[in-house]
Amino acid sequence: MVHLVFQTRNGQQFPLEAAAKQSLMNAAVAAGIPGIDADCGGSMVCGTCHVHIAPQWRDRLPPISDMEQALLECVPQPHPDARLSCQIPVSEQLQGLVALIPSAQR
């Protein structure tokens, strides 16, 4: 299992243990993490699963696709650290990852 933490803007933390290979979004939804709406279920059309991930984790994440980038430019508060959690597979490389939940998803 991979230890992950979702954190709100006011510092509230939601730690969870996630099985590898599922998406970060699926792990969050299964754990009932507030603020990860994931309206499209991972089809990369809603943007309501986006999180902010600190730059030091960037080389452990899959590259951002053109479609993901385009969607992230349409979220309420675009941010350079934003990623779609549905496009990030959980792996051992993400052990200890902290994903910040944005203040708004829509």
Per the listing, tokens 């999180």 go with 51
Helix, strand and coil content of the chain, in percent to the nearest 5, comes to: 25, 25, 50
For residues 36 and 49, give the distance between their C-alpha atoms in angstroms, rounded to a whole number.
5
**What amino acid is encoded at 30 in this protein?**
A
Q: Which is nearer to ligand FES, 2 or 48 (CB)?
A: 48
State the minimum distance, in angstroms, from the CB of residue 48 to ligand FES: 6
State the minimum distance, in angstroms, from the CB of residue 36 to ligand FES: 8
Residue span 6-45 as binding mask against ligand FES, x where in contact by CB under 6 A, dash where not = -------------------x------------xxx-x-xx
φ, ψ at 7 (rounded to 5°): -130, 135
State the minimum distance, in angstroms, from the CB of residue 61 to ligand FES: 14
Binding residues (CB under 6 A) for ligand FES: these are: 25, 38-40, 42, 44-49, 84, 86
